Structure 1
Amino acid sequence: MLTKTSDVPVGSGVIVADTVITQPTAGVFKGFSPVCPHRGCNVNAVTDGKIICPCHDSEFDLDGSVVKGPAKAPLAAKPIAVQGTSIVAG
């Protein structure tokens, strides 16, 4: 188990081990690699509906798409699954 569904706020997300888990809308969970495609730094926060990379200030939407560069590619999707109230690696 990566985390509980209740630990991932709607309109935000969490970083657990090597997975970014977001809940863009109620009941919809998405998983991503934490590795920023710009220079390989790990994103370190999910704030104000954005996933933040501290190295060069790239920002990603809760669906992994680029909101603000220098990153040009989205975060890589990572399979996750909801099993009851748990989110597990998929």
Structure 2
Amino acid sequence: MRTVIAMAILGVMAASPAFADSTTGTVAAFDRVDHILVLNDKTIWDLSPVIDLVPEDLRSGDKIKITYTSAGDNGWGKVDSISAVEK
């Protein structure tokens, strides 16, 4: 019985929960061919899987908000939305 309880506790501890998070920044560059977004703080986002979420008129200097699902210690898992932030 103790083994079953211990295994259950370890299973719960090993599962990394997904958390919704967001970041805002200013676009330094956006490569429409390779779908790479670089923000002024030097973060790089590969938007290939979610290119349909990118605003068509996105350009350098735009302020944006990226909402994503966190993968815990493994970084970000999935981009949920990309939206312009009012200037």
Larger radius of gyration: 2
* TM-score normalized by the length of structure 1: 0.30
More helix by share: 2
